Amino acid sequence: MKAGIITPVYLSVSWVLTVSYQLLTDTAVRSIGTNIGLLNPSLGLWINSNIQTIVFVYAFTWIFVLSSVIPQAILGKERSVIAQYIVVLTLSLLALFMPYILLSLTGIDITLVANSATFLTNPIIAAVYLMMPYFFMIGLDLRNRNPKSRQKRKELAEELEISKIKYNSMVEDKS
């Protein structure tokens, strides 16, 4: 039941993050490339001539982060490889096709929204924006490596499981 309710929410949030990140990343990378070009013209030229590759790497990073978190949240610790593959494939396909679906069904051109993201022309904001999935990965790694935190989460999960068992037995006793 929980997965049935929470799955569409997670997929919707991840789609918004993935598509917006993918579209806005182009603006941010161009901003960084332009500003680096002022200091180092050859590096700026390289960045600007490889925009699609750089955007792909950043979009892949965001999908990687989401695919690490979302299947665990939806499917729990005992997720199957096939179920995780389906979730990741769904995220990827939504990110790829949703702009075309929105354009054909509603007339909304997402690239116009991305082009209006003038805040990303500031190189500092653009750099922070581009680093978000990396900060998120580092945070997840630090959270999972902290033994006290891991032990506390394990204890809470065990207490929750015991509470569920007690509740189910009480419900069965009443029936």
Q: Tell me the per-residue pLDDT of 141-167, one tens digit each, with 9 for 90 and over.
A: 787 776 666 677 777 777 777 777 776
- Residue 157 placed within a domain: no
Q: What is the spatial distance between Cα 161 and Cα 66, in angstroms, rounded to a whole number?
A: 26
pTM of the model: 0.60
- Residue 32 placed within a domain: yes
- CA 42 centroid distance within chain: 32
Q: Tell me the per-residue pLDDT of 104-150, one tens digit each, with 9 for 90 and over.
A: 888 878 777 666 778 888 999 989 988 988 888 888 778 777 666 66
Q: 22 and 62 in contact (C-beta within 8 Å)?
A: yes
- Residue 85 placed within a domain: yes
32 CB-near residues (< 8 Å, 6+ apart): 47, 123, 126, 127, 130
Provide the number of structural domains found in the chain: 1
Print the domain residue range for 46. Answer: 2-146
CA atoms within 13 A on the CB side of 132: 19
CB burial of 125-138 (b: ≥16 within 10 Å; e: otherwise) equals ebeebbeebeebee
- Residue 89 placed within a domain: yes
